[in-house]
Amino acid sequence: MRHSSPTRERRVPGEVPIPSQEPSRKELALERLATILERSEYKDVLENYLNPRKRIITNFTAGLARGLGLTIGTTVVVALLGWIVSQFLSMPIIGEFIAKLVSYVDMYK
């Protein structure tokens, strides 16, 4: 004769188990971790807001990075377009037009 423990429930095949009302240890740990992460994010935001020097340095650095990236990107694109256009100089109709453009640009240098 087998005796089942009072805390263990019998499961019927195909029955979906109902989660207990008390959170498990994993759920509690995840909740605590989420709370800590939320607080630390607020702490970072407050530090940046309350410390103007740090905010200025961060924004200045971001601006330098954006400006440098824009400058390098524009240089690469313009150089690439110039090289592509120079390949068309040997074509009959387009080549003449591009040659005129190049001569106009050379006049104003």
Identify the helix (H) or strand (E) that includes residue 105.
helix 92-107
The pLDDT score that the predictor gives to residue 42 is 76
Q: Is residue 9 part of a domain?
A: no
Whether 88 contacts 99, CB under 8 Å: no
Look at 6 and 62; give whichever has higher pLDDT. 62
Q: Is residue 62 part of a domain?
A: yes
Span 29-87, pLDDT tens digits: 888 888 887 777 777 777 777 888 988 998 999 999 999 999 999 999 999 998 887 78
Residue 8 has pLDDT above 70, yes or no: no
The pLDDT score that the predictor gives to residue 9 is 57
For residue 39, CA distances in Å to 2, 52, 84 come to 52, 21, 54
Q: Is residue 71 part of a domain?
A: yes
Q: How many domains does the chain have?
A: 1
Q: Is residue 29 part of a domain?
A: yes
Q: Is residue 52 part of a domain?
A: yes
The pLDDT score that the predictor gives to residue 67 is 98
Tokens 């340095």 found at: 57
Enclosing domain of residue 92 = 25-107
Say which DSSP state 4 is in.
-
Q: What is the pTM of this model?
A: 0.45
Q: Is residue 3 part of a domain?
A: no
Q: Is residue 66 part of a domain?
A: yes
Q: Is residue 103 part of a domain?
A: yes
